[in-house]
A and B are shown apart, each in its own frame.
Chain A
Amino acid sequence: MMITIKDKVRAFIVDNFLFGDTSYELADTASLIENDIIDSTAVVELVAFIEDNFGIAMVDSDIVPANLDSVDRISSFIKAKAETLAA
């Protein structure tokens, strides 16, 4: 079975910010900030995860809630960045 970007992102969030609590119903579109899943330091952890696992170098303008505040947004951001790199 193929592991998708979204699976990897979700697994990282569950392991790192929910500490393995799989009973937490994390919707793909749920805001990580409004649901108190990440704090300001966690953003740094999130950026490191994306750079290390997907070979993406993020610039300051990438690090905004519009790109990183839900499983869906993070996955879409990674896909878009990967496509830009591949082009």
Chain B
Amino acid sequence: MCGFGGYFGSIRDAEALLARMIAAIAHRGPDEQGKFVTPDAGLGHARLSVIGIGDGQQPMSDVSGNLTIAFNGEIFNYLELREGLIAKGRRFRTSSDTEVILHLYDEMGEDCLSLLNGDFAFAIWDNRHRRMVLARDRMGVRPLFYTSKDGVLYFASEIKALLKVPGVSAEIDPIALDQIFTLWAPIAPRTAFRNIHELEPASVLIATQEQVTVKRYWHLDYPHRDAPSKVTNEDDAADELQALLTDAVRLRMRADVPVGSYLSGGLDSSLVSALAAGMTPRRLQTFSVTFDSAEHDESAFQTEMASALGARHRTVACRAGDIAGVFPEVIRFAERPIIRTAPAPLYQLSGLVRQAGLKVVLTGEGADEVFAGYDVFREARVRRFCGRQPASRMRPQLFRRLYPYLPGLQQQSVEYLSAFFGTGNAALDDPLFSHRPRFKTTAAAKIFFSGDLRATLKGYDAAEDLVSRLPQAFSLWHPLHQAQYLETRFLLPGYILSSQGDRMAMAHGIEGRFPFLDHRLVEFAGRLPPEMKLKGLVEKHILRKAAKHLLPTAIRERTKQPYRAPEARSFVGAGELDYVRDLLSEASIAAGGLFNAKAVANLHEKCRTQPASGFRDNAAFVGILSTQLWQKNFTSQEVSAARAA
């Protein structure tokens, strides 16, 4: 797990540039650094040593010197792949997974990607074919960004390394901002930075002197909605799921250092921790965030699970004001505006893991996407149910059951519930049916956009842009699978795995591993009939069944509590930090040019006086503040001057 940067083309002062690029992302790999330079290409690497600690230095070249790789991540099945390669006569000089990729690429070219089970991004300089090959894992766990300047392709694990390239400037991309304020994340390959792109998950980019091509080597897929399911027996499916998950955890326990586990107190991380505890010869170390607000805190479940596992459990308390305290760092690492504060406690949590001396943690992330755990899936089912009898006064009452943790919703009349969830006039064939209310609610925060920004956007519609990127087969899938695709293909890599995952963990040099995102598990779950995942309104039904003998009943049967953190009220009121006041002042907002200064001042005052503001106000507050922080971090005059120096 590491960071890398590099270029393809001819540049001056290559060594110095690579040194600056790697220094910018040194937090990703505090253990070692290395460089490789030729007249046509260069690679730099910052290493977090996890596998092959003594002999896995990078960039790494093969025996011929024709192939050189810089690699971020882990190939979890590298031992099996290595055995196969040795059987074919390949000789290894190191014990690392990095060398396995080199040999495989030598054998198969970019087709080797289909054999890799892992979370990775890498760059291979292929001197034989005079080409640079960039690749990224199927689900988008590890990041990879690129840009071009004066005919040279530059790439890196984080954007801040690309900003070290002379002439590459940091400017906000207005379209990306609109996407964030609608969909929560930019749609890759777009990033918050104009002209800086993200290599999409499951993709490979091949650059030669003549051209740059990008192609996908794996697709998230679901069966036709009317096709008879090949999986019909629930008990067998639960057994197969348990076996797959066990193997996914087994592979992700591979490391030459101890592996810990995040423990939220929910089903997913508890299940991963339980499997891991049974595989480690040591006492498992678990890590949790606690909150001082009852609506966010899950510490009772965390304690119960840690105790059941006999784990060595540590917690970090996220108290009032802590989120505001770390938020500038969160945005510096996230490298984009965000509309929620949820990444901040995870930033604290990875700091705790680092303090404990660990480098690697397992997480339960991904289970909600793969096994239909999110409220948005249940909500869509209730909306369809209501849509079939729009006059019913009984059916909309189900919305209250869906959101017991939202007090504002509990007080709403049936008529308002119907109106807010769009049950009366819902277009059942809308490809965004499942997510439309969320997108509409979030997009309402765009009321704060300045006149200039609106004029620049010229009526751009992020939701319709998203529709235009859906695969042809999308309309043939079951509605639950359509909703899962939207969540898994866009929000998971665009927000969860990046802003809440890789970037918050790597800020402290911590590698997160995600057993539920093992591609074999994802493919298996895609083949399951929808009712095995969402049974009535019970989410992750098959996963609960698979967990039957592994978890205490209270953990296995509990209703999902979505991971949330306090929003606007973290920043306002007594003890409000100077940077918040400064960045939200009318002068700062006007100077930034993206928001209506008077409206923001009113919002700020409203959040001060009405701490229980709704989702729109919270999203707007966090979105505006983070955009201001983003601008200060990446585009302010001081930063530009420092970059040029």
Contacts and interface: CB of A to CB of B under 8 A. Distances in A.
> How many A residues touch the partner, as a band?
20 to 34
Interface string B373-408: 000000000000000000000000000000000101
A30 interface: no
Interface stretch (A4-12, A41-49, A71-79): A41-49
B92 interface: no
A44 B411 contact: yes
Contacts of A18: 447, 599
B596 interface: yes
A44 B408 contact: yes
Contacts of B447: 18-19, 21, 24
Interface in B155-196: none
A19 B615 CA distance: 15
B409 interface: yes
B107 to A, nearest CB: 55
A19 B409 CA distance: 23
B440 A64 contact: no
A64 B415 contact: yes
A48 B130 CA distance: 69
Interface string B570-600: 0000000000000000000000000010111
A10 B443 CA distance: 22
Interface in B599-645: 599-600, 602-603, 606, 610, 612-617
A19 B603 CA distance: 6
Given A19-B447, A66-B415, A39 B603 contact: no
A41 B408 contact: yes
A18 to B, nearest CB: 7
Contacts of A40: 406, 408-409, 412, 416, 420, 614
A1 B447 CA distance: 31
A15 interface: yes
B73 to A, nearest CB: 40
Residue among A19, A33, A60, A66 with most chain B CB within 10 A: A19
Interface in A8-63: 15-16, 18-21, 24, 33, 36-37, 39-45, 60-61, 63
A23 B443 CA distance: 19
A41 B606 contact: no
A80 B411 CA distance: 23
B420 A19 contact: no
Contacts of B600: 19
Q: Which bucket holds chain B's interface residue count?
A: 20 to 34
Contacts of A36: 440-441, 443-444, 616
B610 A45 contact: yes
A65 B424 CA distance: 13
B602 A39 contact: no
A43 B602 CA distance: 19
Which label, helix, strand, loop or mixed, suits the secondary structure of the B interface? helix
Nearest to A15: B602
A43 B416 CA distance: 9
Contacts of B441: 36, 39
A65 B416 contact: yes
Most buried by B among A21, A33, A41: A41
Contacts of A63: 412-413, 416
B397 to A, nearest CB: 13
Contact of B413 (A24, A37, A39, A64): A64
Contact of A65 (B419, B444, B613): B419
A6 to B, nearest CB: 21
A33 to B, nearest CB: 5
A39 B443 contact: no
Contacts of B416: 33, 40, 43, 63-65
A39 B598 contact: no
Contacts of B596: 19, 21
Contacts of B78: none
Nearest to A62: B413
A41 B613 contact: yes
Interface in B181-219: none
Contacts of A69: 419
B182 to A, nearest CB: 12
A66 B444 CA distance: 22
A82 B413 CA distance: 22
B614 A42 contact: yes
A41 B612 contact: yes
B292 to A, nearest CB: 22
A43 B415 contact: no
B448 interface: yes
The listed residue with most A CB atoms (<10 A of its CB), out of B408, B412, B413, B610, is B413
A19 B599 contact: yes
A45 B411 CA distance: 12
Contacts of A41: 408, 612-615, 617
A14 to B, nearest CB: 10
Nearest to A68: B416
B624 to A, nearest CB: 11
B602 A19 contact: yes
Residue picked from B408, B409, B443, B599, most chain A C-beta under 10 Å = B408
A64 B417 CA distance: 10
Interface string B423-460: 00000000000000000110110011000000000000
16 contacts: A16-B606, A19-B602, A21-B599, A33-B416, A36-B440, A36-B616, A39-B441, A39-B444, A40-B412, A41-B613, A42-B616, A44-B408, A60-B413, A64-B413, A65-B415, A69-B419
Given A15-B602, A40-B408, A61-B413, 18 more contacts: A19-B447, A19-B448, A19-B599, A19-B600, A20-B598, A20-B602, A21-B596, A21-B599, A36-B444, A37-B444, A40-B409, A40-B416, A44-B411, A45-B610, A60-B413, A63-B416, A65-B415, A65-B419
Interface of B: 406, 408-409, 411-413, 415-416, 419-420, 440-441, 443-444, 447-448, 596, 598-600, 602-603, 606, 610, 612-617
